[in-house]
Amino acid sequence: MKQKFPYIAFVAIVLAIALLSIVGILTSRHATPPLQGTIEAPEIRISGKLAGRVAKICVRKGDIIAKGDTLIVIHSPETEALHSQAVALENAAQEQSNKIDEGARSEVIASAEQLWLGAKAQRTLAENTYHRVVRLWQDSIVSLQRKEEAEALYLSASAGERAAYEQYILARKGAQKQDKASARYMAVAAASSVSGVEAVLDDGHLTSPIDGVVAEIYPAEGELVGIGTPLLTIVDIAKPYAVLNVREDMMPHFRLGQTIHGDVPALATPDIEWEICYIAPLGSYATWRTTHLAEGYDMRTFEVHARPTEQIEGLYPGMSLLLTTKNSER
């Protein structure tokens, strides 16, 4: 009997272990495996279109800011000089357009009219002289050469009168419609150049596009910054979400639109409900995991994002999320 006791005890221990293993396997099939995630929030990097020197930093790291608050002031004397130049060119183009639209000055029109009247008088005199010379030539009093000279003077005076008359009409009508349109377009182009420079200068006072918290400030006052250089990072703490790295064999418990439950140790609120809003595989270079050889495949890791279904006070990026076994489907 004493010899059988160790054998019976060994068999009992083996059976107990097997029973516990079976119960654990059956239980794990119906519960979400425990998993830890991290709270994150959208980040916005603030940069500008103006290259210059940082004149003033209006916020500090960790400040809570509202949409429209001034963050950084950048000073650029070069761009301000370009703005003055563009304004001067705009004024010049506009004045030129106005001048063409108004037409010639009254003095110019009067001068052209007097020239035409003078040319008209010269033509009348040349015409009368020509007719008299023709009659004298017909009576054989003057030579043919004198008659031809008078005719040439008459034709020249007629041409001069027509030219003076056309100049007078041109002065009265002013520029052609194509010239007027061209001058207006030049004025519009100059105004557009001013607007472009002003749009760049507006970035001299960078403001916040959202409500949030200042996470990082990269330059210091007095430093030079270029176009598109990141200057600040703002975290939108009003839109937190949880990031979970889920192994492939655990993915049956995670579906888009599904709700899961978890605790945030940093908060007193237990069992917070989350809605899964994003699922995507991580890079394979870092997420492949070899399973047991008998299973014959490798498992990847998926990145899962979940949003709280209700606004949670005090939920900040960097906090941990511990999933519970409670799970429900929407």
> Could you tell me if residue 16 is inside a domain?
no
* Nearest by Cα to 157 from 113, 112, 125, 133: 125
Residues 36 and 102 in one domain: no
pLDDT for the residue 112: 73
Residues 178 and 323 in one domain: no
Residues 86 and 193 in one domain: yes
Can you tell me the distance from the alpha carbon of 208 to that of 210, in angstroms, rounded to the nearest whole number?
6
Ramachandran class of 307: left when φ > 0, alpha when ψ lies in -120 to 50, beta otherwise: beta
Residues 153 and 163 in one domain: yes
Alpha carbon 164 to its chain's center: 58
Residue 302's beta-bridge partner residues? Answer: 246, 281
Burial of residue 290 (CB within 10 Å: 0-12, 13-18, 19+) is exposed
Ramachandran class of 160: left when φ > 0, alpha when ψ lies in -120 to 50, beta otherwise: alpha
| Count of C-beta atoms within a 10 Å radius of residue 147 | 17
Phi, psi dihedrals of residue 191, rounded to the nearest 5°: -65, -35
Residue 63 belongs to domain with CATH number: 2.40.50.100
Residues 230 and 299 in one domain: no
Q: What percent of the chain has pLDDT over 70?
A: 77
Can you tell me the distance from the alpha carbon of 231 to that of 290, in angstroms, rounded to the nearest whole number?
43
Residues 217 and 288 in one domain: no
> Could you tell me if residue 257 is inside a domain?
yes
| Local structure of residue 275 (DSSP, 8 states) | E
Residues 36 and 61 in one domain: no
pLDDT above 60 for 293: no
Percent helix / strand / coil, the chain, rounded to 5? 45, 25, 30
For the four alpha carbons of 143, 145, 147 and 153, in that order, the dihedral sign comes to negative
Residues 189 and 170 in one domain: yes
> Could you tell me if residue 13 is inside a domain?
no
Two structure tokens written together for 327 = 């799970």
Residues 61 and 86 in one domain: no
pLDDT for the residue 284: 59
For the four alpha carbons of 77, 83, 84 and 89, in that order, the dihedral sign comes to positive
Q: How many domains does the chain have?
A: 3
Contacts of 232 (CB under 8 A, 6+ apart): 45, 46, 59, 71, 72, 206, 214, 215, 216, 217, 218
Residue 53 structural domain: 44-73+205-235
> Could you tell me if residue 2 is inside a domain?
no
pLDDT digits (tens, 9 = 90+) for 40-97: 999 999 998 888 999 999 999 999 999 999 999 999 888 888 888 888 888 888 877 7
> Could you tell me if residue 6 is inside a domain?
no
> Could you tell me if residue 22 is inside a domain?
no
Q: Which of 187, 214, 235 is the last residue of a domain?
A: 235
Residues 188 and 104 in one domain: yes
pLDDT for the residue 329: 43
Residues 64 and 90 in one domain: no
Helix axes 77-102, 177-202, angle to 10 degrees: 160
pTM to 2 decimal places: 0.58
pLDDT digits (tens, 9 = 90+) for 217-268: 999 999 999 888 899 999 999 899 999 998 888 888 889 999 999 999 998 8
Per-residue confidence at 330, pLDDT binned at 50, 70, 90?
very low
Q: Where are the alpha helices (DSSP H) in the chain?
A: 4-28, 77-102, 106-138, 144-173, 177-202, 284-287
| Count of C-beta atoms within a 10 Å radius of residue 206 | 21
Residues 154 and 216 in one domain: no
Residue 277 belongs to domain with CATH number: 2.40.30.170
Can you tell me the distance from the alpha carbon of 255 to that of 165, in angstroms, rounded to the nearest whole number?
89
| Local structure of residue 98 (DSSP, 8 states) | H
> Could you tell me if residue 5 is inside a domain?
no
pLDDT digits (tens, 9 = 90+) for 1-42: 445 556 566 656 766 676 766 656 655 544 445 688 999 999
